[in-house]
Amino acid sequence: MFPIPLQRDFSLRSLNTFGIEAQARAYLPVAGADILLAVKNSPELAALPRLILGGGSNLLLTQDFPGLVLHMRSTGMTVIDSDEDTVHVRAAAGESWHGLVMWTLAQGLGGLENLALIPGSVGAAPIQNIGAYGVELKDRFHSLTAFDFISGEMLTLDRATCRFGYRDSIFKHALRDRAVVLDVTFALPKKWQANMHYADVMQELSQRQITAPSPQDIAAAVIAIRTRKLPDPAQIGNAGSFFKNPIVSAAQRDSLLAQYPQLVSYVQPDGGYKLAAGWLIDQCGWKGRSLGAAGVYEKQALVLVNKGGATGKEIAALAQAIQADVQERFGVRLEPEPVFI
Ligand code: EPU
């Protein structure tokens, strides 16, 4: 039988960017599909609840995990082919997302620069269709390979099949707890065009007196903005934006705008409006406040932080208190972005 390097009662503290202590009943590093097949074929392991772990940057551990953590550790990034318009790049699930962005830029390939410095792994990126500064993963996505825990076979999924939405995909719905992403293929444009519509990026570039930016210039601007606004998980535990920006009807947005002329909202293709959750939370006075060791980051109200030794339950209690205030004041429900265990 395939040797399975299983570890029991494994601490997940260093594997989640909140830095929260919790134990997994069992833990396996995964370098490729063969080990997933071995898990599927083991009656003992296949019966356990599974948690697929990438960079642990979208995870809130509120308790020990009573199952098997599969930690994606596969590596490799390659240019696989190119045609007149597009270069295809494939990266293994265990690669760091930011590492991939910087590697593509070093190869002279633009397209991922607006997504620089997002924490997490390549394999996790499609699950929530990561996005920042006017670009989402789906805009550069070609296809992915995944292991199917039901059939034991490999699936190849194209963009339409992945059903990408705002921080959403098929992996949060029909393929939840079923598909494990093994590698992702990106389609990068040969005729690169800067995407600097986002006000913060435009402002940063103009401060740097850059009018015709290269992909590297945009990456440098995005890195500077993120470093200023968002806490570095290596310094202070966090999972990026803790809530999604809520989408409301035009009627609800209009009535809120009449009451709050400063409301930050963005029109959506379907006529609805995305509201800035950070603004809503800020207005409720939460920015910089804490409940125990769980806090709201002082420079960006959408980010919850572990001020040192916080438990997942403390972070969850803070999140609930914020949700209740935003609901009461604005009638808007905030939905958390991270996966709760
Ligand atoms: N705002 C406030 N107070 C705050 C925070 C924000 O008033 O404390 C206002 C800002 O002034 C701005 C608006 O809210 O007018 C939006 O803020 P920002 O541009 O910082 O972006 P965001 O909506 O808070 C989203 C993503 C980020 C992504 C940035 C840039 C979500 C949930 N978050 O944040 O993604 O980096 O846009 O594109 O969509 C993440 O998902 O983990 C993440 C960091």
Q: Which of 197, 302, 322, 339 to mutate to test the pocket of ligand 1 (most atoms within 8 A of CB)?
A: 302
Which atom of ligand 1 is the closest one to the Cα of 241?
42
Q: Which of 274, 279, 305, 332 to mutate to test the pocket of ligand 1 (most atoms within 8 A of CB)?
A: 279
* Structural domains of the chain, with CATH: 7-72 (3.30.43.10), 77-189 (3.30.465.10), 237-336 (3.90.78.10)
Higher-pLDDT residue of 1 and 322 is 322
Q: What percent of the chain has pLDDT over 90?
A: 98
Give residue 1's pLDDT.
Answer: 54
Q: Is the pLDDT of residue 2 over 80?
A: no
pLDDT digits (tens, 9 = 90+) for 180-196: 999 999 999 999 999 99
> Which residue's CA is the closest to the ligand 1 atom numbered 26?
132
Which atom of ligand 1 is the closest one to the Cα of 230?
44
Task: Please indicate whether residue 96 is annotated as part of the active site.
Answer: no
Q: Which two tokens stand for residue 258?
A: 């009449």
pTM of the predicted model, to two decimals? 0.95
Q: Is the pLDDT of residue 273 over 70?
A: yes
Phi/psi-derived region of residue 275, left when phi > 0, alpha when psi is between -120 and 50, beta in every other case: beta
Ligand 1 centroid from CA 219, angstroms: 18
Catalytic residue among 167, 169, 204, 253: 167
Ligand 1 centroid from CA 23, angstroms: 32
Q: Please state, rounded to an integer, the average pLDDT across all residues of the chain.
A: 97
Catalytic residue among 90, 241, 265, 314: 241
> Which residue's CA is the closest to the ligand 1 atom numbered 9?
279
> Which residue's CA is the closest to the ligand 1 atom numbered 32?
244
Which atom of ligand 1 is the closest one to the Cα of 229?
20
Ligand 1 centroid from CA 302, angstroms: 7
pLDDT digits (tens, 9 = 90+) for 321-335: 999 999 999 999 999
Radius of gyration of the chain (CA): 21
Give residue 197's pLDDT.
Answer: 87
> Which residue's CA is the closest to the ligand 1 atom numbered 41?
241
Task: Please indicate whether residue 204 is annotated as part of the active site.
Answer: no
Q: What percent of the chain has pLDDT over 70?
A: 99
Task: Please indicate whether residue 337 is annotated as part of the active site.
Answer: yes
Ligand 1 centroid from CA 309, angstroms: 26
Which atom of ligand 1 is the closest one to the Cα of 58?
42
Give residue 5's pLDDT.
Answer: 87
